[in-house]
Amino acid sequence: MLNNDQSVISAVAGRQVRPDVVEGLKSASEKTGVSFEFLVAQATRESGLNPSAKASTTSARGLFQFTSQTWLEVYKANGSKYGQGDLAKKIKRNEDGSLEVADPAIRKAILDQRQNPEMSALMAAEYAKTNEKRLESRLNREVGPSELYLAHFLGPNGAARFLDVQEKAPEKVAAKILPAAARHNHSVFYEGNKPRSVAAVYSQVRDSIDGTIQRMAETRKAAQEPEPQPQIVEVRPAVAPETARAEAAKLRESARDSLISQVMPVLTANLALNRGEPSESRGNLNETPRVSLPMPPPLENRPQTQGIDAGALETLMRRVRLSFLG
């Protein structure tokens, strides 16, 4: 049964995910308040949950594919919150707005942290919180997970431009709206060599981000439902035909003996009365018999001039006995 975050994420991803990746995402969510499911969905789309992933056309690295400049920007603003204040102070801004680190070794140490699952997830979560405020301010409305991901993917300004066109003219070619992003992300903006519309790119992103979040929720729900208990069916051992016939014969004999033992005392008592003999069952003649047979009236009510044919009664007893014994 799926009963923990790693098994849920692995089930959704379709492969085993490293425990340190799951723990890094979970820790970042707890420390920043950003949705764990959103971070998983974003990392799944960006890197396939591979902390060592590298882009072939840009400087993007790690779980969330931060480029060098974006990482330095986010790290400078948030590194001190997570024990990286000394390194964050080494990042300086140039006159043109770009960021640099004078010492190459320190610059490499900072950029290498993109491949640390927890630090990468922490910076991604802080970047999402900043972008949410910027994007909602630009659009003058709340934004959902897919729109927030676009701010990570395109930058807040690029995402605002893209979403504005999505609302007003979704049929436009997406690559013409954001040509620089299209050059570095051909598979997103093109289907083969055919350019995708803004609506098509947005639909692809929504299916990926919102779809992953939904699949995680469904997987968790299925893991919490109790498994159906198998019905236990009693299987009796097979009985040989000869044994079955013998048992049936015993049951018939037992039933006959029981029935005869109830009938015969009544018939014997009646026969004894006709012969004038004493009977142990005489005191029971007025009681209801255990089987349904016609009973003679009490002696005091019988006309004294009418007697019972003893021979006929004996014949009746033989017939009853024969009928039960077969």
The stretch 261-284 carries a mean pLDDT of 56
At 100-152, the pLDDT tens digits run 999 999 999 999 999 999 999 999 999 999 999 999 999 999 999 999 999 99
Neighbours of 228 (CB within 10 A): 6
The stretch 280-309 carries a mean pLDDT of 45
At 66-100, the pLDDT tens digits run 999 999 999 999 999 999 999 999 999 999 999 99
| Rounded distance between C-alpha atoms, residue 155 and residue 135, angstroms | 10
pLDDT at residue 230, as a whole number: 67
pLDDT at residue 278, as a whole number: 52
At 175-201, the pLDDT tens digits run 999 999 999 999 999 999 999 999 999
The stretch 267-286 carries a mean pLDDT of 52
Place of tokens 């709206």: 177
Among 37-51, 229-243, 298-312, where is mean pLDDT lowest?
298-312
Please state the pTM of the whole predicted model: 0.69
CB 159 within 8 A of CB 135: yes
| Rounded distance between C-alpha atoms, residue 67 and residue 53, angstroms | 12
Q: Is 5 left (phi over 0), alpha (psi -120 to 50) or beta?
A: alpha
Amino acid symbol at 106: I
Going along the chain from its start, the domains and CATH numbers come out as 5-224 (1.10.530.10), 245-325 (no CATH)
pLDDT at residue 76, as a whole number: 98
